Amino acid sequence: MHPAFSVVFFTTATGAGYGLLALLGVLGGLGFIPAHFWLGLIGMGLSLGLIAAGLLSSTGHLGRPERAWRAFSQWRSSWLSREGVASVATFIPAGLFGIGWVFFGRTGGWMAIAGFLATIGAIVTVCTTGMIYASLKPIAQWHSPYTLPGYLIFSAMTGSVLLNALLQAFAISPTAVAVAALLLTLLGWGWKLATWRYNDALEIASTANTATGLAGGTVRSLEWPHTEENYLLKEMGFRIARKHGARLRRITQVLAFALPALLLAVLFALPWPFAAALSVLAAIVQFAGMLVERWLFFAEAKHTVTLYYGR
At 28-65, the pLDDT tens digits run: 999 899 888 999 999 999 999 999 999 888 776 666 66
pLDDT at position 300: 84
Q: Which carries the bigger pLDDT value, residue 117 or residue 64?
A: 117
- The per-residue pLDDT for range 219-251, each reduced to its tens digit, is 676 666 666 666 666 665 566 655 778 899 999
Q: Stretch 119-140: mean pLDDT, rounded?
A: 93
Torsion sign, CA atoms 217, 218, 224, 229: positive
pLDDT at position 244: 78
Residue 1 reports pLDDT greater than 60: no
Q: How far is CA 114 from CA 37, 58, 109, 166, 299, in A?
A: 18, 27, 9, 21, 38
Residue 66 reports pLDDT greater than 70: no
pLDDT at position 302: 77
If pLDDT is split at 50, 70 and 90, which confidence band does 157 have? Answer: very high
Residue 134 reports pLDDT greater than 70: yes
Measured CA to CA, the distance from residue 172 to residue 67 in angstroms comes to 45
Q: Which carries the bigger pLDDT value, residue 154 or residue 58?
A: 154
Q: What mean pLDDT value characterizes the chain? A: 87
pLDDT at position 122: 97
- The per-residue pLDDT for range 160-205, each reduced to its tens digit, is 999 999 999 998 877 899 999 999 999 999 999 999 999 988 776 6
- Predicted model pTM: 0.88
